[in-house]
Amino acid sequence: DAKTTQPTSMDCAEGRAANLPCNHSTISGNEYVYWYRQIHSQGPQYIIHGLKNNETNEMASLIITEDRKSSTLILPHATLRDTAVYYCIVRVAGTASKLTFGTGTRLQVTL
């Protein structure tokens, strides 16, 4: 699997948009970009994924650059409950396909 690089930590004020960047310059054509988050002492939670088009769901939006070498996860109105470690992972499709976790971005949402 291709590797990703993310900032170690970020802060965001409650109610503001949180924009979390991820670089995946060696991504292959058949690899998707997945985002998960892990709140302290819990299992990771799936957020969103995409191949090349921008995606939006009830939790977040995913913006993937045209060359697919980077992406941004957007939490439109961050709340204190969004404080977590966010992982950007590239992975091929398939139920037997592994997820390889990097160090992620620790997002701290403050009042």
87 in contact with other proteins (CB under 8 A)? yes
Contact call for residue 46 and other proteins (CB under 8 A): yes
Q: Does 5 interact with other proteins (rule: CB under 8 A)?
A: no
The residue from 49, 63, 72, 74 that contacts other proteins (CB under 8 A) is: 49
Contact window for other proteins (CB under 8 A) among 6-14, 17-25, 72-80, 102-110: 102-110
Judged by CB under 8 A, does residue 39 bind other proteins?
no
The stretch among 3-11, 13-21, 44-52, 68-76 that binds other proteins (CB under 8 A) is: 44-52
Tokens standing for residue 65: 């650059």
Q: What is the DSSP string of 23-89?
A: E-TT--TTEEEEEEEE-TTS--EEEEEESSS-EE-SS-EEEE-TTSSEEEEEETT--GGG-EEEEEE
Contact between 53 and other proteins per CB under 8 A = no
Residue 86 lies near other proteins (rule: CB under 8 A): no
Q: Are 89 and 100 in contact (CB under 8 A)?
A: yes
Torsion angles phi and psi, residue 89, rounded to 5: -135, 135
